[in-house]
Structure 1
Amino acid sequence: MAMPSVNPSQLRPPVLTDKILERPRLLQHIREAASHGGRLTLLSTPLGYGKSTLLAQYAASLRTPWAWLRLSSADNQPLHLLLHLHTTLGLAVPESALGAVAEARLWHAIQQRLEQAAEGFTLILDDLHLLRSGRARAYIEQLLRFGPPGLHVLAASQGVPDLAINHLLREDRLTVLDARELALDSEETRQLASSRGIRLDANTLYQLRAGSEGWISGLLFWFAAHRKQTLQAGQPPQPRALRNVTLQAYAYVVRFLDEELLDLLPAELLTFLERTSVVQAFDPALAEELSERTDSERLIRQLQRRDLFIEQRPGERVEYRYHPVLRDVLYQHLQQRDPQLLRQLHQRAAAWLMEQRRYSEAIHQYGRAKDFNAVLATAERHTFDLLRDGQINALVALLTQVSGQSGSDHFTLAISEASIVLVTNDIRSARSCIGRLQQLLRRQGVPRHPERVRQTIAYLRTLLAFLGGNLGHGLTLASQALQRYPQRNAACSVLRFNRARCLFQLGQLSAARRDVEQALAELDTFRFSGFANIPHLLLGEIELAQGEGAAAMQRFLALEQGSPAAASRNFYELFHEVGMGLVFVQQNRLEQARQSLARAEALALGFPHSAGLVGVLHHQACLYDALGDSPKAQARWDEARRMARQFRQFGLYRRAGAWRARLAVRERDEDFLLDWLEEWHWCQRHYGEDMMPEEWLAYAWVQRHLGQPTLAGQILANLREQAEGEHNLRLQLDLWLLDATLCRDRGDQPAALARLDDALQLASRHGFGQLLHHEGRELAELFRQLLLPQVRRQAGLERPLPPREQLAPLLAGLGSDDAAQRLLEPLTRRELDVLRRMARGQNNQQLADGLFVSLSTVKTHINNLFRKLDVTDRDAALRAARELRLLD
């Protein structure tokens, strides 16, 4: 029996070029999994997400031994697999083979080699999904289950490989990075383009990000098409010519997916894919309706095993969706081959969705089938139901589809458009919608309920005032309309919510809370479970500002659990992701905040950008500022302001500008400050006192920067009165930090320490973790001094410090790695000696004998240890010392 030959190309990683995108966050994630005893780290995504490249980057960064094996179908023969493992581990290739005897010999040598790698060994397996033979898989499973302690297996697979790995999940030794983790975010998309010499403007960047959902291969094809157009024209394509780039890129993607995926599928799977591509999401029942098969669950499982760009969304009803690029390719194939069948499938889907009361999706399907009478009839019966499913894109498409059709000036359709505008925040559409509603009012006999039309016009006008930043006017409009039209309906609730938004932005938290709580109670009665996420976010922000972080966390967790399962990528999911991000920031859990806001950005990109993207960018900028990453914070705020200006959302423009001004003060960005001051004075002339507290706070910091501490102090006093009256603890915290800075500026260190102590006590009582974010970072040295008992005594601070377990998260990152020790009075050398002897189990008498001191002196040292470590017994002292790394 001849020995199988070794394929050298399977034993080396791909070459890394200077165009490769660096992905430090993912590499760090893999390192942490390995360092914490992980046995298997699995990159599980469809093709084209850069798995092999990431494996190669990790291999290049390793300083410990590693081996690489790219699996092929031939490795399903156990002898072939073992030979490749044997060779990649650096073992000599046997000269001959003796069947089963050779397998046993090779396997024994492989095990021995891994056991000898005492300092840790990384085995990297690419294309693990190709390993399907039970006998071949058994060898890998043995390594995963019984391999040496230092072995870390890093693998890439299209989907979860057919291996027994659940025991690793149980033992917390399995880490899976899926398509959501490997998908590129906006900054990585920009970097990837830059590595190929392409400069993306903001609009193009977000269109690429939304269309590709971070699929790396799709982006690379777009860059290739851009390069081709540049070579042909002799210059980069202008913005108006980018459509041609996109069309060329789409042609590349079609050929790629056909060659690498679709042409290799069995006919029954390909037919199933095409027929289910007519809907944005489906469950097994809808799939059976469209495919006319009774085995849809079996076919779905096959798609999942092959990881064919299919995403499962759990909920009350399990649903699936395809990646939009794949869905579009499948849809176009079906449209070209059988347009009549395509129309029938849309009709069939619409009828099924109507039976399930999924009205917005049904309308979308009727529109694709060109059945505009059904569209209008559905809109007539289910005006406000249309917003519940969160398929905002389907609703926007509805208006485009019926434009110019018979009945497109329909009364109920106009009301529906107003409902859509309420969510999309499209100011231009809101104004035109008001005009159409006013025209309908003037027509005799059109509106059956004129009060409802007037309420709708009123809430659109308050929306315009809120988005435009004219908050006082928005309050007046909403209050007048609520008095004039007291009818209890959804429009009235929306008016109340819009008033709450204006109140909140003006810092009037108590009145805002009453309004939004009443609006939510009413919306709950009307079963507005989806749209209600938006006022829930507002109420959660109020709770966070008032120090009720636990209540806000529970609110957003409940929103996540109760998110409507009617359609994947539900627009309203955006608001619980933003809410969780804000909670994590307040808790100083910044990496978790980054993940939540990244998911929020991905959701916002899939809908009209005016609807939520600007706000997400602002919150991301605040997060980057909290992380101390000023360049990214500045870029996010600048982009948020550009988009807000584009959409004429001047309220958000001003809010982001206020935070950007505070960064400009710390960065000494005088040019920005001059422009911002000009805008600030314009707003003050037009709105008087109706300015946001965030704007006044930023103005105070700017005045302090300009050498006007008296004016800054006056603003501080006014804001403090408002903060105390409204129980706005977050604002109070910011004001203590400003006050401490002003005291330090005039050389009054005891007063500065007293203000910081107020901030520390407030943060400790209410769980605020932002002490060292933003301006607080520049007060780090004062915070260190504040924690020293002798300094506190000199400053006359009598209140005890919060417990150590509360201080550590509040001041995480203060100073160097031994920051935790600095949180308390440092131990003397003798006290450290006592602590070490205690750790060896010595009692008090043994301590006295070993140190040549009296028993009473030993007790004094131990009492000092207990006080400084904030504990009451020896065991607790030793646990605290180990946490603070005071013991070897």
Structure 2
Amino acid sequence: MLLTTKFLRPTADPRSVQRERLRALLQPDGAKRLNLVVAPAGFGKTTLVSQWCSRTSSNVVWLSLDEHDDEPRRFWRYVVGAFEHNGLAGLEECRQQLSHCSLQELEGPITGLINVLAADGAAWSFILDDYHFIRDPQLQRQVSYFIDYLPPDVMITLASRTEPALPLSRWRVRRWVEDVHPGLLAFSEEECQQFFHDTMGLELSEQEVRKICRKTEGWVAAMQLSALSGGSIEDQSAGGGQQRIDLDERKISDYVLTEVLEQQPAPVRDFLLDTACCPRLCASLCDAVRGTTNSQVLLEQLLRENLFLIPLDTRNEWFRYHDLFRDALLQRARQFKPEDTEKHWQRAVNWLLTHGHVQEGISQIVQHRDWPWLARVLAEHGNNLIHGGFHLPVLSWLDSLPVNILQESPQLLMLRVWALFFANRVDVLDPLLNELEDMLDKQVADSHPDAEGALGLQSEISLIRSYLARSKSDDKSASDLTQQVLRDIDHTRIPLKSVTYYGVGLDYYGKGDLAAAEDALKSAVRYGELERKPSTVLSSGGLLAWIQYNRGDIDEALDTCTRVRQWVDQHHSDPRQPMLISCWQNSALIEIYRERNEPQLAASYLAPLLDHVNNGTEPGQHVIIQYVRGHLAFSEGRHQEAIEALEDAASVARRRRDHILFEPPACSAMLARCYLATGHLTQAEEWMQQVTNDRFTNPLNREQNQISVARVQVALGHPGAAMATLAPLRLSAEKDQHYRHLVEIQLVYSDALYAEGKTQEADQMLAQAVQRAADAGFMRLLAEESPSIRKLCLELPLLKAPGRWNSRVLGMLREQAEADATASVPTPASKNEPTAPADSGNDELAEPLSQRELEVLELINQGLANKDIASTMGVAPTTVKAHIRNLYGKLAVGSRTEALARARELRLLA
């Protein structure tokens, strides 16, 4: 049961100051996706947003958060409930998924909500008030995903006491964020007058109000502090003998120092000056800087007295000074205690470095331009930063070093090589490696004190060269170099085992030795966890899951993905940083959830990968992403989209083969299935003739290719040839335990047997295949077979027996059969049913829209939701979904808005 009062927007107080200049900032504008209103309590955040909501033309959804909402499932239930409360239709499936999916699968219903908003097409403003209650890192990452993929007409407004742990820097670069911070919330002179006279009902003269406004620059916190200073403003305005303030010249920082700092007790004043060097504050850090143990007490005192201390969480653990206040304190400290200030700053940086805040510590060193210290810190922490996904910042920091420091340090040069490697700039590595090897040879020859370290760097060079050899298809050199690193690694002090075993796993995967690849990748994950290398753990675990899935171990593959993701999130948990993504891991999850007939959840893992395709990525990753993208589109009946993605994947695999570290998936085999599904037998036959001479080193790709050849042979009326193609595959797939392919082989084999009239033998083969599918949990695999096999599966006693898997597969097959029937059987047109105009472009489509699809299109044009379309047409909602899926595929679109636009281009709609 949801509290509907949390969906109610607060009524604006008619006496409150109307802030037109700020309301204008909150309006939708260009690419903006997020209004971020951040200020301490009492700054008027909720009042401002509520005023803006009362005037905006978009649909407003309001959600007031509290401390109980910091739990992912509860949070998203309230988000969905808030949209439903305000009239957004089509969220029933999201609500159902939220009730039963695991916490790791919440991106599915989140994607569903995004899709419903995109299909709705209306402008929505979603306000999350008191967002500072949301602290859970997993939930922050989900909110990041939600905002990243929102349609353009939806805008989020967050009102919070603290800046949220979201990737704001990245969004600000994209101009997605409108920041309304305390400085903007400061009152203008006119607003000060309204505040004191109208809102507060205070009888102050305009001159007094003007003085306060100018003195504090309209900053509410500064007004509060002026009251702390003993009411000097009132005394001055009354001519009480106190010193007058030059309001025309003074800046707020001067005011803080003279009117606040000097009036504090000595312990508070010293604390402020001693800790001004800290970019953020916590009791432990302040104690380390000051050499004391009472910092928590003083921090709480500052917070109670509103001394420009801004909380960064709701537990009163982390704080920061307001920037203007901190600048003023630093200026005073450097003026009167320069040596102490430098000592305190060094202690602060050391504390950050030793307590896991390495990036923040390095940023302080860079700002201070202490290049020798930066070189030492990068030498110590750079490797872990790179393998944690921060190779680009490391490159930037290395570039800031003076040239002589960089060129005199082999370790820093090696660090640069690794950073460039992870940035996929491998074309510049050869000369750098040659330069580095020359430097190391000289150190060893000269008996340099760090000769042992030189030997360790030689192992790293060998490892890099092994990856470069793979990129040039020099498998023997790659394997030799990797094995050499394994032999030497225990004699060096550089932790390289995880990366080395990942290379070994790639080698074995490329050769087709999947069992050995699994063993090596499990070692890579284990050592990666010991070495705290999240990116290596994620990539190794992702490739491991990919192999496990493709061998048919779907549950084990999902367990691998879940366990690895949990470890990575635990050790790389700052939601403000970009989330580490592995192409292998996300691709494996896309395939797993597609196979389990959960396309929405599969799409949630595809969305982040598409950014890599659009922005450019390593060719091997490009092929994998487009392959899983095409397979998902094929499963959903969007055949044209599938063909485009798979043709692109096959083209890149062919053109960039020398730059791919492994044999890419057999994309053209899936492409052949698309040709068969769309009735293009000529193209399928041409494909079969082209691939007969293809050679594969990976048995999974060889099997996939041959299974598609057999499918084409059956479709062309050559079942005997198909059985001859499949017979050796049955033996090898069973021997190697490639159970997923074994099920496919048996299904296609049974189709060939039926075509030859061998019904009894075919029935036995089909029953075996379905039983294997049930044991492994395969679902979509059955629904993607030929119409004759799907029809025969519907009659199997096995599927009619009780059981969750049976009922889900049976329901899926029935839904598809109904959709096939309505798509293939022409419906007599009545006077009320729309028909394509005579001059329309329906016949220009590769697959013209059927009469029923034209009817659905017209009802979508009328703005009806799926359930209303189903009611109007007298069919089941699942049938409507099938029609929409089919017309999306024929129009090559992905949403209602795109479908309507494309239909108008083709003159299918008036």
Letter matched to residue 557 of structure 1: T
Letter matched to residue 465 of structure 2: R
Structure 1 residues 810, 610: closer, same or farther in 2, change over 3 A? same
Map Cα deviations across residues 672-704 of structure 1 (whole Å, 9 max, x no partner): 98998899689x5xxx55245225523552575
Q: Does 1:591 align with 2:600?
A: yes
Map Cα deviations across residues 721-755 of structure 1 (whole Å, 9 max, x no partner): 44323322223233334434444555555554444
Structure 1 residues 660, 251: closer, same or farther in 2, change over 3 A? closer
Structure 1 residues 746, 455: closer, same or farther in 2, change over 3 A? farther
Deviation for aligned residue 1:469:
5.9
Partners of 2:656 and 2:313 in 1: CA distance: 33
Corresponding residue for 1:457?
461
Deviation for aligned residue 1:762:
0.9
Alignment of 1:834-853 (within 5 A): none
Corresponding residue for 1:759?
769
Deviation for aligned residue 1:630:
2.5
Deviation for aligned residue 1:765:
0.9
Alignment of 1:607-626 (within 5 A): 615-626=624-635
> Can you give the 5+ residue segments of structure 2 that lack an aligned partner in the other structure?
10-24, 34-44, 66-76, 89-97, 123-143, 156-171, 188-218, 225-251, 254-276, 290-294, 334-340, 822-877, 879-910
Deviation for aligned residue 1:786:
3.3
Equivalences, count: 614
Corresponding residue for 2:261?
none
Aligned pair partner of 2:564 in 548, 553, 559: 559
Corresponding residue for 1:629?
638
Tell me the secondary structure at the aligned position of residue 814 of structure 1.
Answer: helix
Q: Is the 8 A contact 1:499 1:512 kept in 2?
A: yes
Alignment of 1:221-620 (within 5 A): 351-359=350-358, 362-363=361-362, 366-367=365-366, 370-387=369-386, 389-402=388-401, 404=403, 406-408=405-407, 410-420=409-419, 423-431=422-430, 433-445=432-444, 448-467=452-471, 474-475=478-479, 477-479=481-483, 482=486, 487=491, 490-528=495-533, 531-562=536-567, 563=569, 564-565=571-572, 567-568=574-575, 569=577, 571-572=579-580, 574=582, 580-598=589-607, 615-620=624-629
Corresponding residue for 2:73?
none
Corresponding residue for 1:138?
none
Aligned pair partner of 1:154 in 70, 73, 86: 86
Alignment of 1:715-726 (within 5 A): 716-726=726-736
Corresponding residue for 1:727?
737
Corresponding residue for 1:876?
none
Structure 1 residues 177, 739: closer, same or farther in 2, change over 3 A? closer
Corresponding residue for 2:806?
807
Q: Is the 8 A contact 1:50 1:216 kept in 2?
A: no
Partners of 1:442 and 1:728 in 2: CA distance: 48
Deviation for aligned residue 1:761:
1.0
Partners of 2:689 and 2:764 in 1: CA distance: 35
Q: TM-score, normalised by structure 1?
A: 0.52
Partners of 2:664 and 2:622 in 1: CA distance: 16
Structure 1 residues 255, 364: closer, same or farther in 2, change over 3 A? closer
Q: Is the 8 A contact 2:548 2:557 kept in 1?
A: yes
Letter matched to residue 516 of structure 1: L
Deviation for aligned residue 1:764:
0.8
Q: Is the 8 A contact 2:799 2:809 kept in 1?
A: no
Structure 1 residues 502, 171: closer, same or farther in 2, change over 3 A? closer
Map Cα deviations across residues 19-60 of structure 1 (whole Å, 9 max, x no partner): xxxxxxxxxxxxxxxxx999689699x967899999xxxxxx
Structure 1 residues 781, 523: closer, same or farther in 2, change over 3 A? same
Partners of 1:632 and 1:570 in 2: CA distance: 29
Structure 1 residues 426, 267: closer, same or farther in 2, change over 3 A? farther
Deviation for aligned residue 1:510:
1.3
Partners of 1:675 and 1:289 in 2: CA distance: 74
Partners of 1:750 and 1:320 in 2: CA distance: 76
> Can you give the 5+ residue segments of structure 1 that lack an aligned partner in the other structure?
1-35, 55-70, 89-122, 131-143, 157-168, 193-208, 221-248, 272-277, 322-329, 793-798, 823-883
Aligned pair partner of 2:795 in 785, 788, 791: 788
Q: Is the 8 A contact 1:39 1:151 kept in 2?
A: no
Q: Is the 8 A contact 1:547 1:766 kept in 2?
A: yes
Tell me the secondary structure at the aligned position of residue 443 of structure 1.
Answer: helix
Q: Is the 8 A contact 1:494 1:519 kept in 2?
A: yes
Corresponding residue for 1:113?
none
Partners of 1:748 and 1:49 in 2: CA distance: 66
Structure 1 residues 705, 391: closer, same or farther in 2, change over 3 A? same
Partners of 2:408 and 2:118 in 1: CA distance: 44
Alignment of 1:122-271 (within 5 A): 125-126=60-61, 153-154=85-86, 213-214=148-149
Structure 1 residues 470, 188: closer, same or farther in 2, change over 3 A? farther
Q: Does 1:690 align with 2:689?
A: no
Partners of 1:297 and 1:560 in 2: CA distance: 41
Q: Does 1:779 align with 2:786?
A: yes
Letter matched to residue 813 of structure 2: L
Q: Is the 8 A contact 2:313 2:319 kept in 1?
A: yes
Map Cα deviations across residues 181-202 of structure 1 (whole Å, 9 max, x no partner): 69989x989x99xxxxxxxxxx
Partners of 1:786 and 1:251 in 2: CA distance: 51
Corresponding residue for 2:201?
none
Tell me the secondary structure at the aligned position of residue 85 of structure 2.
Answer: strand
Deviation for aligned residue 1:413:
1.9
Q: Is the 8 A contact 1:284 1:297 kept in 2?
A: no
Structure 1 residues 339, 801: closer, same or farther in 2, change over 3 A? farther
Corresponding residue for 2:893?
none
Aligned pair partner of 2:779 in 769, 772, 775: 769
- Identity in percent: 15
Q: Is the 8 A contact 1:367 1:375 kept in 2?
A: yes
Deviation for aligned residue 1:598:
3.0
Structure 1 residues 383, 778: closer, same or farther in 2, change over 3 A? same
Structure 1 residues 181, 691: closer, same or farther in 2, change over 3 A? closer
Letter matched to residue 624 of structure 1: A
Tell me the secondary structure at the aligned position of residue 86 of structure 2.
Answer: strand
Q: Is the 8 A contact 2:420 2:429 kept in 1?
A: yes
Deviation for aligned residue 1:567:
2.9
Q: Which has the higher contact order (CA 8 A, sep 6+)?
A: 2
Q: Is the 8 A contact 2:542 2:588 kept in 1?
A: yes
Structure 1 residues 503, 788: closer, same or farther in 2, change over 3 A? same
Q: TM-score, normalised by structure 2?
A: 0.51
